[in-house]
Amino acid sequence: MLLIAALAAFLLWCIGIAGKNQPIAKQVRVNSSSKRDPYSVIFLARLLLRQPAFRLLPNQIWQSLTTINPYIESLLDA
């Protein structure tokens, strides 16, 4: 069960990172003048998945995975 939960959280993280710069992400954003993102990427992914017009291309998911590559490489070099 923990493995399934971890996989679901990782998938939501990938969707959130990929969907962060989509136009529909700006529509679900709260009215905030703050410079930082109002939602965590996992919560943003949950919001975006509930939108009927939200679609991601496979290359957008792949690009979200490239953000984790430097972290993994730093762990392997240590």
pLDDT at 5: 95
- 25-78: per-residue pLDDT in tens? 877 777 666 677 788 889 999 999 998 888 888 888 888 888 878 877 887 886
Q: At what angle do helices 41-49 and 2-19 cross, to 10 degrees?
A: 80
Q: What is the pTM of this model?
A: 0.74
pLDDT at 3: 95
Q: What is the CA radius of gyration of the chain?
A: 14
pLDDT at 65: 81
